[in-house]
Amino acid sequence: MIKICIYEDNKLMNDSLCLLISNEEGLKLEQSFSNCMNIIEDYKKYRPDVILMDIDMPHRSGIGGLIELRSAGFTEVKVLILTVFDDNNNVFEAVKNGANGYLLKKTPPDQLISNIKEAFTGGAPMTSSVASQVLKMFTDVYSQKKDDYNLSERERDVLKYLVKGFSYKMIADELFISIDTVRSHIKKIYEKMHVNSKTEAVALAFRNKLV
């Protein structure tokens, strides 16, 4: 059962998301909120697996809430940005600060459900127009000298499958290792590459031709 919390100040959108998730087998709506002012307390109380986060909310933006959550050390929860904004600045700030996906609110309901499940299993779902922006932005940002980051052969194997868009489970199956071992390798990859998300790691892999 995937536990979900929603942060959305538009009541109609909030109600629609709550209804969608409540009626989907395998998903459990823990709670919904109209702002993220108390996101740390909310997380500690409900411990969601996935958070759907709007950007434009009163008192504090969704990106501000994301930053607070990650800064407090809560890195396991998957945060999907769900917004009307697809401008470069919002996309960059969300991904840079640890968002696990970036979706537009026009995403069809069945696709949104699929995206939630994908994020839960280690994927990084993004609306296609956003994904192309992300790759270009991080190619531009990480323009430093090429580096192999001292990755081990197994870490390169894991990174290769991340670049292909494989989920943690799919990588585990391909390499005949456990999901926990995959997570351990990915944690080391992030540390060596000095990144905080899958998207950043993939962008650097492309930039430095690591795979």
Residues 6+ apart with CB under 8 A from 16: none
- Of 96, 81, 3, 83, residue with least CA distance to 43: 3
Estimate the crossing angle of helix 198-207 against helix 153-163, to 10 degrees.
100
Q: What is the pLDDT of residue 139?
A: 62
Give every residue of the chain whose pLDDT is below 50, as ranges.
Answer: 145
Residues 6+ apart with CB under 8 A from 130: 86, 91, 102, 103, 104
Give the pLDDT confidence of 124-155 residue by residue, as tens digits.
898 887 877 777 766 665 555 456 788 999 99
Q: What is the pLDDT of residue 143?
A: 52
In order of their start, the domains of the chain are: 2-138 (3.40.50.2300), 144-207 (1.10.10.10)
The DSSP symbol for 59 reads: S
